[in-house]
Structure 1
Amino acid sequence: MARTSSTETAIKNMLIPLVQAIGRSGKLIYLLIFLIVGFFAYQFFTKKSNTTTIEYDTNLIQVQIKNVGKLVVTEGHFAEVLTYKDRKETYIPGLSFDKKALVIINADVTIGFDLSKVTYDIDEKNKIVTITNIPKEEIKISPDFKYYNTESSTFNEFTGDDYNKINKIARANLLKKIEKSTLKTNAQNRLLSELSKMLIVTNSLGWTLSYKGNVVKNDKDLELKIIN
């Protein structure tokens, strides 16, 4: 009987460590499963957070571009003095019929950029905003003509064609003055000021602004690419 009791005790002493080991292994398995589930859950929620951030950045950029999309107008005033002459020759040597006029033109000029026509592409994967089109300036000239010392003859009177010629010549001369003036430069500076807001937003969000196949890093890059 004592021998049986010793045998049982010996068996118990062998089984207890085995049960404890199995118990510890079970806990390790549960811990391993928990870690695996936790890892995939972290990956899932992290990925979703990145997507949400990109969508937020994209929406913010689109709103900023929409705010930029307005009409930028620079105004100026120019004056032109024009002497218009026209001669109608005859078959008689030395005989002609002349007409002439002194014309003073005061013109209000506006140079505008319709920024609602700016087009762009957004590459969400690479975080790049590419400006695909910036509209050309729109020059509007509103002239006021005053005629002085008008002279003509019965055989060579002023007609609608003469006024059209004067209008065309005056406009061409005014355009040359506009090109030489600071009005166009001022208009371009206002354009750059508006577009630089896009650069500020993209840079602050860690995105890249591109135009004409080149990365725009600062206002100077933007100025060179637009003017050229």
Structure 2
Amino acid sequence: MKNYKSNNLGFFGKLSEIRKWILVLFMAFIFFWIFNYFTKSKDSSTIEYDTNLIQTQIKNVGKLVVTEGHFAEVITYKDKKETYIPGLSFDKKALVVVNADVTVSFDLSLVTYDIDAKNKIVTITNIPKEEIKISPDLKYYNTESSTFNEFKGEDYNKINKIVKENLAKKIEKSSLKSNAQNRLLSELSKILILTNSMGWTLSYKGNVIKSDTDFQINLSN
């Protein structure tokens, strides 16, 4: 009789032990599920926060970057109207003093980009070309003309065209465009600094941008 009771007690003891393990496993599953749920939610929130922060930063960068310069030159405009009489012509000429204000600008609101939140990659898809604006102030001196070859509107238009062509050549040889590009790179580097600090990758034209130098190389291509 004692053996029967001891056997029963051993059986129920084992059953109680199994229930304890089932309860432990069940509680472990519950804790794991809760941990996994909140961990995933946190990651999702972080990525969403990162994406919004990057979009805000790019929007803040999206302004008009303007570099200004001043150029001056003196040109002599001449025009000759030949006649049927050899050696006889009607001439007109003018000394033109040019002072011009020039601006080189980048409208960074036109920068376009794609954000790959899953892989944490920001890809700049377009950086606008520079816009060059030339505003010349022309003053005419020593203007000479004749009745048969007077100054007309087309002459002033021609002079204005010549002036802008000459100024365009001067701008190309000057440091104005490179200074404007340096300011552009300074603004774009803010996006680079932000993505690096957040563990994201910045890409442009299929290349990973790791420094301002990478931007400079890509912009010149």
Return the TM-score normalized by structure 2: 0.98
- What is residue 88 of structure 1 aligned with on the other side? 81
- What is residue 200 of structure 2 aligned with on the other side? 207
CA distance in 2, matches of 1:208, 1:150: 62
1:13 Cα deviation from its structure 2 partner: 1.4
- What is residue 55 of structure 1 aligned with on the other side? 48
CA distance in 2, matches of 1:198, 1:226: 16
1:135 aligns with 2:142: no
**4+ residue segments displaced more than 2 Å:** none
**Aligned residue identity for 2:129:** K
CA distance in 1, matches of 2:206, 2:126: 12
CA distance in 2, matches of 1:14, 1:155: 136
1:41 Cα deviation from its structure 2 partner: 2.1
Which secondary structure does the structure 2 equivalent of 1:44 belong to? helix
1:42 aligns with 2:35: yes
**Aligned residue identity for 2:182:** N
| Deviations 1:191-219 (CA, angstroms, capped at 9, x unpaired) | 00000000000111111111111111111
| Deviations 1:15-44 (CA, angstroms, capped at 9, x unpaired) | 111111110110100111111222222222
Matches within 5 A, 1:1-228: 7=1, 9-228=2-221
Matched pairs, number: 221
Which secondary structure does the structure 2 equivalent of 1:53 belong to? helix
Which secondary structure does the structure 1 equivalent of 2:170 belong to? helix
| Deviations 1:156-188 (CA, angstroms, capped at 9, x unpaired) | 000000000000000000011011111111100
CA distance in 1, matches of 2:214, 2:203: 10
- What is residue 3 of structure 1 aligned with on the other side? none
List gaps (5 residues or longer) in structure 2: none
**Aligned residue identity for 1:137:** E
Which 10-residue stretch deviates more, 36-45 or 98-107? 36-45
1:138 Cα deviation from its structure 2 partner: 1.0
**Aligned residue identity for 2:29:** I
**Aligned residue identity for 1:209:** L
Which secondary structure does the structure 1 equivalent of 2:219 belong to? helix
Identity in percent? 70
List gaps (5 residues or longer) in structure 1: 1-6
CA distance in 1, matches of 2:17, 2:64: 74
1:227 Cα deviation from its structure 2 partner: 2.4
1:66 Cα deviation from its structure 2 partner: 0.8
- What is residue 4 of structure 1 aligned with on the other side? none
| Larger Rg computed on CA atoms | 1
**Aligned residue identity for 2:28:** L
CA RMSD of aligned residues (A): 0.8
